[in-house]
């Protein structure tokens, strides 16, 4: 699978700007929703699952928890691992869906502009049962998508080093791409791999084994692994 | 930006200096002999052969033609996995590994030759020992290997595991299963407690009034809070843990009468699983690399024996520091050792060592938990740097996902070991 969209990954690097009282312009969010989300999702009175799951009551809800919706295996795994939709996780997901949930079926390449995401989330919050989970004012530190300075993305991975480091991954992740119980990590676009690993390193993705493995990987080592796994047959 | 290569050149120079024996010159390829075809040895042999691309002559010595994994053998005892699913042959390990099914009976570290029970001799430039565990004679008074047919240890997977399961299945209604748990350090720290969980799962269905007693010399044990919670939830009242405060540290057995003697008081039981105190696999002592502890001290950076620079010791047999004795640990250590050996013998790049472990345990069907850590070498030992453990009170979906993840891990590690 290739979800390339370097533009989407780059969107992760921008930091959400300070907003005043509200998290965003909900009226603008409604327009954005109509244009970009409504083809697949519905929200508000009478909303139901369509191509995507219903978005009423989204905030505070566990990922993949709408009972009668058929989620991707990847999204179900993230839900089981503990991913819950908060302002921070939604912001990261909308910025680049595949960076947070690798195998999501949502074929949306991401919303780069932070104020647009804030507007969209302000609109969705209006239909949430638990608006208290939304900060009314700009928090002092908002953990959004993985913080990746451009020089981190520009690192050219040392494939031979990656091959050594990858031996550690192969204890669980099979090189032939099997994905029973443990997801496949072969044949990823390097930019996706780098974004995903930094999301674990920064504890945006919830899985404890992966957080531990990523915690000690330097940016060079992540790039090396990305270079290696991109080319495993 | 590239990796800082000076780091690696430095590491290579250090290992080159420490390993006084240079790569062997001449017509023959450098020879590496690996003893023990489990998580450490099979992985090391496979990685050495694959990554050296024919530059090394790799021989794997393993007595058994079929490997039965100790990891997941408790799931067989619990009726949630077949015995056959634990078994793996060596047919796909790769053309670069010569597999010799024989028992290593001696090592001459000066001549650098391994002798086999079948009479053959195997010269080596580097020797990898990954022989697992052996049992410490006399650690449970009254028990010896000769009694293992009556009171099985089932701590080396195979016929012993099948025997223990048959005994549990033949228990009378309301009978008593006793486990004598081992002192630290031993193979698979959560193993005894996963085992009683799985036996309780089996008995819950066929023999719900049976009792399980664990006699334990340890004050506390791996994942204790998780097991205690799970036992209350799934097997309420069936399992009693008797720690040292209540005599768990003063236990003898009488195989002839099927009795456990706790602080001098004999108690009749129906099945008795004795897991004795452990030492490094015997060949490690024969090679002269163990110390008074019975284990083989190794250098934390590459798993090289502290007693012999040409011998590496992996897995359960090694005394390395903080890593638990587990298949995952052995597999992780094997990759570091393989890299170091290849670097010394072929001049390939040597990278800084890193190690990891995760132990999954199954408390009941679909109720999986895990504990793990990552490790790095310090001058003294392999030291834990990050760790995690499942929490009590986790919801059923997460526990099921953890179990499914463990199935993925089993498929992954066995593919990594055997191809």
pLDDT at residue number B302: 98
pLDDT at residue number A131: 54
B333 and B312 in a common domain? yes
This prediction's pTM: 0.78
Q: Cβ separation of B374 and A213 shorter than 8 Å? A: yes
**Selected residue with higher pLDDT from A179 and B241:** B241
B151 and B265 in a common domain? yes
pLDDT in tens, A122-151: 888 888 765 555 544 443 334 446 788 889
Q: Which residues lie below 8 Å from residue B366, measured CB to CB, with a gap of 6+?
A: B396, B399, B400, B403
Identify the domain containing residue B191 by its residue range: 137-274
pLDDT in tens, B155-172: 999 999 999 999 999 999
* Domain tally, chain B: 2
Two structure tokens written together for B368: 């999986």
In the sheet that holds B271-274, the strands lie side by side as B239-242, B211-215, B176-180, B271-274
Tell which of B205, B240, B274 closes a domain. B274
Q: Which residues lie below 8 Å from residue B175, measured CB to CB, with a gap of 6+?
A: B207, B210, B211, B269, B270, B271
pLDDT at residue number A87: 87
How far, rounded to the nearest angstrom, does the alpha carbon of residue B277 sit from its chain's CA centroid?
14
B95 and B188 in a common domain? no
Tell which of B258, B274, B290 closes a domain. B274
Averaged confidence pLDDT in chain A: 81
**Selected residue with higher pLDDT from A107 and B390:** B390
B299 and B336 in a common domain? yes
B185 and B120 in a common domain? no
Q: How far is B70 from chain A (nearest CA, A)?
A: 16
B157 and B125 in a common domain? no
B151 and B66 in a common domain? no
B323 and B245 in a common domain? no
Shortest CA distance to A3 belongs to which of A109, A148, A154, A152? A109
Q: Is B21 contained in some domain?
A: no
Mutate to test the interface with A, among B356, B372, B399 (most CBs of A within 10 A): B356
pLDDT at residue number A134: 52
* A81 contacts in chain B (CB < 8 Å): 398, 401
Q: Any idea what the CATH number is for the domain that residue B285 is in? A: 3.50.50.60
**Selected residue with higher pLDDT from A178 and B209:** B209
Q: Is B20 contained in some domain?
A: no
B84 and B42 in a common domain? yes
Two structure tokens written together for B145: 């290997």
B75 at A interface, C-beta within 8 A? no
Which of B2, B351, B387 faces A164 most closely, judged by CB atoms?
B351
Which of A161, A173, A180 faces B407 most closely, judged by CB atoms?
A180
* A179 contacts in chain B (CB < 8 Å): 408
Q: How far is A171 from chain B (nearest CA, A)?
A: 5
Q: How far is B387 from chain A (nearest CA, A)?
A: 7
B392 and B263 in a common domain? no
Q: How confident is the model at residue B10 (pLDDT cuts 50, 70, 90)?
A: very low
Q: Average pLDDT in the B82-107 region?
A: 97
Q: Is B389 contained in some domain?
A: yes
Residues on A contacting B at a C-beta cutoff of 8 Å: 77, 79-82, 151, 154-156, 158, 160-161, 164-165, 167-168, 170-176, 178-182, 208-209, 211-213, 215-216, 220, 224
B81 and B35 in a common domain? yes
ipTM > 0.90 for the complex: no
B193: three-class secondary structure by DSSP? helix
Tell which of B274, B296, B326 closes a domain. B274
Two structure tokens written together for B390: 């499942």
Residue B138 has pLDDT above 70, yes or no: yes
pLDDT at residue number A188: 84
What is the maximum span of chain A, computed from C-alpha positions, in angstroms? 55
B369 and B329 in a common domain? yes
Residue B12 has pLDDT above 70, yes or no: no
Q: How confident is the model at residue A8 (pLDDT cuts 50, 70, 90)?
A: very low
Q: Is B187 contained in some domain?
A: yes
pLDDT at residue number A103: 87
Residue A5 has pLDDT above 50, yes or no: no
Q: Is B19 contained in some domain?
A: no
Q: Is B295 contained in some domain?
A: yes
Q: Average pLDDT in the B83-110 region?
A: 97
């Amino acid at each position: 699978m290739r979800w390339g969209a370097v533009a989407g990954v780059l969107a992760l690097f921008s930091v959400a700007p300070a907003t005043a009282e509200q998290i965003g312009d909900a009226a603008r969010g409604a327009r954005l929703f109509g244009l970009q989300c409504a083809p697949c999702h519905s929200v508000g009175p009478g909303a139901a699952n369509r191509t995507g799951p219903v978005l009423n009551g989204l905030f505070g809800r566990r990922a993949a928890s709408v009972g009668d919706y058929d989620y991707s295996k990847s999204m179900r795994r993230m839900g089981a691992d503990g991913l819950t939709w908060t302002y921070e996780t939604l912001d990261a997901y909308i910025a680049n869906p595949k960076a947070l949930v690798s195998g999501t079926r949502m074929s949306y390449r991401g919303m780069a502009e932070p104020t647009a995401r804030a507007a969209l989330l302000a609109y969705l919050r209006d239909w949430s049962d638990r608006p208290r989970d939304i900060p009314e004012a700009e928090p002092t530190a908002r953990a959004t998508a993985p913080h990746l300075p451009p020089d981190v993305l520009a690192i050219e991975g040392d494939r031979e080093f990656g091959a050594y480091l990858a031996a550690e991954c192969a204890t669980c992740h099979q090189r032939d791409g099997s994905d029973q119980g443990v997801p496949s990590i072969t044949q990823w676009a390097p930019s996706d791999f780098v974004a995903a690993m930094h999301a674990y390193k920064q504890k945006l993705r919830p899985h404890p084994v992966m957080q531990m493995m990523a915690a000690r990987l330097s940016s060079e080592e992540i790039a090396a692994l990305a270079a290696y796994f991109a080319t495993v047959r | 930006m590239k990796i800082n290569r000076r780091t690696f050149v430095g590491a290579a120079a250090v290992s080159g200096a420490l390993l006084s024996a240079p790569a062997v010159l001449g017509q023959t390829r450098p020879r590496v002999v690996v003893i023990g075809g489990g998580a450490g040895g099979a992985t090391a042999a496979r990685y050495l052969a694959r990554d050296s691309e024919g530059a090394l002559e790799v021989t794997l010595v393993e007595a058994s033609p079929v490997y039965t994994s100790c990891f997941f053998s408790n799931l067989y005892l619990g009726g949630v996995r077949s015995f056959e699913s634990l078994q793996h042959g060596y047919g796909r390990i790769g053309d670069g590994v010569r597999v010799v099914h024989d028992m290593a009976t001696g090592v001459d570290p000066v001549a650098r030759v391994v002798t086999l029970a079948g009479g053959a001799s195997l010269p080596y430039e580097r020797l990898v020992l990954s022989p697992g565990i052996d049992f410490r004679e006399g650690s449970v008074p009254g028990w010896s290997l000769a009694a293992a047919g009556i009171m099985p240890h089932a701590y080396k997977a195979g016929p012993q595991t099948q025997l223990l399961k048959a005994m549990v299945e033949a228990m009378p209604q309301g009978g008593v299963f006793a486990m004598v748990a081992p002192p630290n350090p031993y193979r698979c720290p959560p193993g005894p407690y996963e085992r009683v969980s799985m036996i309780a799962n089996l008995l819950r269905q066929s023999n719900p009034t049976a009792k399980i007693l664990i006699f334990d010399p340890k004050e506390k044990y791996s994942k204790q809070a998780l097991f205690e919670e799970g036992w209350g939830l799934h097997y309420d009242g069936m399992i009693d843990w008797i720690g040292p405060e209540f005599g768990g540290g003063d236990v003898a057995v009488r195989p002839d009468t099927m009795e456990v003697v706790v602080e001098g008081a004999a108690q009749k039981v129906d099945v008795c699983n004795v897991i004795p105190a452990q030492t490094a696999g015997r060949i490690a002592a024969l090679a002269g690399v163990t110390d008074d502890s019975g284990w083989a001290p190794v250098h934390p950076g590459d798993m090289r024996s502290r007693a012999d620079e040409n011998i590496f010791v992996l897995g359960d047999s090694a005394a390395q520091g903080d890593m638990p004795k587990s298949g995952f640990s052995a597999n992780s250590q094997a990759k570091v050792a393989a890299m170091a050996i290849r670097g010394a013998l072929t001049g390939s790049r040597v990278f800084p060592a890193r190690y990891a472990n995760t132990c999954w345990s199954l408390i009941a069907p679909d109720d999986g938990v895990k504990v793990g850590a990552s490790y790095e070498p310090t001058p003294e030992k392999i030291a834990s740097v990050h760790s995690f453990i499942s929490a009590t009170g986790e919801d059923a979906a997460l526990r099921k996902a953890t179990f499914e993840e463990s199935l993925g891990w089993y498929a992954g590690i066995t593919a990594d070991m055997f191809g």
